[in-house]
Amino acid sequence: MRPLLADEFIERGTQSYSPITIGRGLAYAIMAGSRRAVIGFTFGLGYLLLGIFTDMALLKPFLGEHVGLFRHADGTISAGILAQSYGARDLLGWWSIPVTLLLAAALYFALTKGLRILRKRR
């Protein structure tokens, strides 16, 4: 029963680009079996990364010095939402908002298209 529900939710979600419907389909796919679990888990991680990019864009105006792409004094680079960014230089500044939104949009369409292609193979 779960594989059928997963297929139905993923089919509807890829047609409507609805993240909630896609998420439900991926959850059912993970519970359905090992191959589907690996595929569902992989796509789930992709959608999680998409959420992180979106959160970065939304939080930048409020937590500007903790959100972005940073180069630390020792030369290491880190990106995302950091608890401590003291002494680090923000490489993108306010450009991190459009960059992360573009990355999120591109990743969203790529993941949804990938789900659609996988769905057609079955």
Instruction: List the chain pLDDT tens, one digit each, 122 residues.
Output: 556 778 888 888 888 888 888 888 888 877 777 677 778 888 889 999 999 999 999 999 998 888 999 998 888 999 988 887 778 888 998 999 999 999 999 999 999 899 888 877 76
What is the domain extent for residue 109?
A: 2-121
Q: Is the pTM of this model over 0.85?
A: no
With the CA atoms of 118, 10, 43 and 80 taken in that order, what torsion angle do they form, in degrees rounded to the nearest 10?
A: 140
d(CA 89, CA 72): 6
Give yes or no for a contact between 57 and 97, defined as CB atoms under 8 angstroms apart. Answer: yes
Q: How many domains does the chain have?
A: 1
Q: Residue 74: which region, alpha, beta or left (left: phi > 0; alpha: psi -120 to 50)?
A: alpha
